[in-house]
Chain A
Amino acid sequence: MSDPPAAALVEAYLDEVAAGLYGPRQQRKRILSELRDGLGEAISDRHVDGLPPDRAASAAVASFGSAEQVASAFSGELATGYARRAVIGYVATGPLVGIWWLLLLLPHPWHTGLVAFITAIPALPIVALGIATAAGVVATTGRLIRWLPEAAPRHALAATAGVAALAAAGDLFMIAFYVQSGVHAEATAVVAVSASLLRIGCGVHVIRRCHRLSRMLARC
């Protein structure tokens, strides 16, 4: 696209689309790159058909739909992309938090079995529920949608907020349990509590993003 007015028109259009996109930065960047390439092709086609560069650019932009229409069409994919990224992040980093609590509150060697484990780490049922919810989000938004019902973007966001809330509840529960247990403060405890507090902070951020994306979806 060598014509400056045509290039300016395309960039103005893409800026308008970008202003309506909410979701993971990399995903938005890829969407805009793809649209820019498509618009370049559309302008070339119209130029070959005999239109001057500025009219070719106007016609190409018009054929793509209004910026609002295009941004709205991407809202579901962006919301689903965010939900998947967030829950995969929770599943991947969960053990990094859990391991410290496990090291700190490990059951006594001759107390074995599930009951002894849950007594030592009482947040395990909450963690299990969180993992099950996260697995549900990943399964119903990825390749398995060929066989499973696909989660609507707003449901994926709600479930993601649920995973974040469960993780935060589990962390708060473990911190409260540790404070009440009277176990002596030690380096492991400092790391475990810090990791949980960090995850609670991330959880608040995730819940707010899910809420914002849900509001954007409702407007589309």
Chain B
Amino acid sequence: MRPELLKGHLDALLLAVLEDGPQHGYAVIELLRAGSGATIDLPTGTVYPALHRLERAGLIASDWQTVGGRRRRAYHLTAAGVRALGEHRAVWDEFSAAVTALLGARPRPATA
């Protein structure tokens, strides 16, 4: 998938991945990859800044833990993040229905 197609949707996708519970950054990115059937396969290191931006916006929050001697940052949705995900879903449903209605339509037979 071309990265520019993801523009504007990455925030919603990251929020959706965190909907089931807290995850650390690498797990979020792997779930994004696995959940999209590897269609969304961005360089892992470039997805972390998107998580940091969501935290700055107050849509997710993070806690630092120490696991196996390594410092780990686990992210979770905030109440504002849950609301934002709901809004993203509503907008996406409307948008995808409109696009599917146009792009998904079979070509009409030519009229004489």
A positions within 8 Å CB-CB of B = 17, 30-31, 33-38, 40-42, 45, 63-66, 69-70, 73-74, 76-77, 80, 141-143, 145-146
Contact = CB atoms under 8 A, between A and B. Distances in A.
Nearest to B24: A37
B70 interface: yes
A37 B56 CA distance: 21
Interface in B19-69: 24-27, 29-30, 43-46, 48-49, 52-53, 56-59, 67
Contact of B71 (A33, A70, A76, A80): A33
A142 B56 contact: yes
In the complex, which range does the number of interface residues on chain B fall in?
20 to 34
Contact of A42 (B44, B48, B70, B84): B44
Given A70-B43, A77-B53, A35 B48 contact: yes
A14 to B, nearest CB: 10
Contact of B26 (A37, A65, A80, A143): A37
Contacts of B48: 31, 34-35, 38, 73-74
Given A37-B70, A37-B72, A42-B26, A65 B43 contact: yes
A69 B80 CA distance: 31
B45 A17 contact: yes
A45 to B, nearest CB: 8
A141 B56 CA distance: 8
A77 B58 contact: no
Instruction: Say whether chain B's binding surface is mostly helix, strand, loop, or mixed.
Output: helix
Contacts of B70: 36-37, 40
Best-surrounded residue of A17, A74, A77 (most CB of chain B within 10 A): A77
Contacts of B84: 146
Nearest to A64: B45
A30 B73 contact: yes
Given A38-B48, A65-B45, 5 more contacts: A35-B45, A63-B43, A69-B43, A143-B57, A146-B59
B33 to A, nearest CB: 10
A35 B70 CA distance: 11
A38 B59 contact: no
B73 A34 contact: yes
Nearest to A38: B26
B71 A63 contact: no
A63 B44 contact: yes
